[in-house]
Amino acid sequence: MNSVLPSASVTAEQLTALEVVNAIARAIGEAPAVLHEPQFAGNEWEYLKECLDSTFVSSVGKFVDRFEKDLADYTGARYSVAVVNGTAALHIALKLAGVQAGDEVLTPALTFVATANAVSYCNAIPHFVDCEEATLGMSAVALREYLQSVAELHHGVCINRQSGRPIRAIVPMHTFGHPVDLDGLMAVAHDFKLVMVEDAAESLGSFYHGRHTGTFGRMGTLSFNGNKTITTGGGGAIITDDESLARHGKHLTTTAKLPHRWAYEHDQIGYNYRMPNLNAALGCAQLEQLPGMLSAKRQLFDAYRKACADLPGMHIVREPAYSQSNFWLQTLKLERENMALRDAILEATNAAGYMTRPIWRPMHKLQPYVGCPRMELTVTSSLEQRLINLPSSSGLGARGAR
């Protein structure tokens, strides 16, 4: 394959960026390559046609029931509730967890905006927590130290002494599919009487000590957006072992309509968050292929790791030692002394046809959330300048030079 050759006038930063471009080319072959695209290589057409032929394309149909069962079977949760997207799943999960208007909810500052938005949909306040280098997710050690200084238990409720508001829940997010320190965070949740809801939107197929992410908290939420490991086009799910929560979640997400042969009776303010049967049909076909996709993404990680092994001052992010990651987005991490290289690498890789992206802008820097409570976010601020997502589609590994 062709390497990108430097001109005589390039700077040292540009030269390093071109070395990254050539490493990507060695791992996945010639450009172009987008960040993450879905792969349709199974029964998608067959199931979609069956769905169309049945005329049950909306919220009622056998594929919704099947997808929920298949998803529960795969994750090991007792129940799953399929909904229209991952944000809707997290919104309802927080309501089911008892989050009320005026409560505070602990969320990572380094996450996609949907995590904070779902808290806001409950008229609650995101309270931002720092992350750790090893997992890129919420730091249990830093959070415990922080809560010991700002929070107190009052009649079994965690209260923020600075704001006077209840801190009701904690929402760890598994960044790019890498499981966080769930043991540490569950201990914090226990000691400070917090309900844990896992944002597992990015971690379908990731396991913590052999157990699927999203099954440790009271509930977990998943996303099946077009850029996720498997897709239903748009879609999400709540997973839980609690039958009453699952039943209530299904009720709320189907407009809180009481069962009746013809009458329209609604006993609560509900939400039209139902996953259409058409989307569920796609999801059933995708879930059948998940093991192969995960294997391909692990091979892709290995290809990147080998191709980038000699790049100075940077490396491909590995899975935590106690976990099995789905490697949803492959990530290049720059050492602190090389953080100034980030933008040059982004410029060179995208110019060469390899779609790369920085990590999300941290939540406390976004206009809607600048006034929210937060702890010191030292690691978050550092990682913001040092992480670059690489093309990560499961079909890419086979393209590279082996």
Per-residue confidence band for 401, with pLDDT thresholds at 50, 70 and 90:
very low
Side-chain-facing half-sphere of 344: CA atoms under 13 Å:
16
Query: Quick check: 2 pLDDT over 90?
Result: no
The pLDDT score that the predictor gives to residue 400 is 53
Query: Quick check: 340 pLDDT over 70?
Result: yes
The pLDDT score that the predictor gives to residue 9 is 64
- Model confidence over 55-77: pLDDT tens digits? 999 988 999 999 999 999 999 99
CA angle, 152 then 109 then 334, to 5°: 130
What is the DSSP secondary structure assignment for residue 81, as one 8-state letter?
E
**Phi, psi dihedral angles at 179 (to 5 degrees):** -60, 140
**Phi, psi dihedral angles at 105 (to 5 degrees):** -130, 125
Q: Give mean pLDDT, residues 369-375.
A: 98
CATH fold of 44-288: Aspartate Aminotransferase; domain 2 (3.40.640)
The pLDDT score that the predictor gives to residue 1 is 52
Share of the chain above pLDDT 70, in %: 96
CATH fold of 12-38+290-399: Aspartate Aminotransferase, domain 1 (3.90.1150)
- Model confidence over 124-157: pLDDT tens digits? 999 999 999 999 999 999 999 999 999 999 999 9
Structure tokens at 195: 């309900």
Structure tokens at 326: 């789905």
Cα 210 to Cα 287: distance, rounded to the nearest angstrom: 19
The pLDDT score that the predictor gives to residue 265 is 96
Structure tokens at 20: 């990254």
Q: Give mean pLDDT, residues 30-38.
A: 96
Cα 73 to Cα 71: distance, rounded to the nearest angstrom: 5
Domain ranges of the chain: 12-38+290-399, 44-288
The pLDDT score that the predictor gives to residue 251 is 98
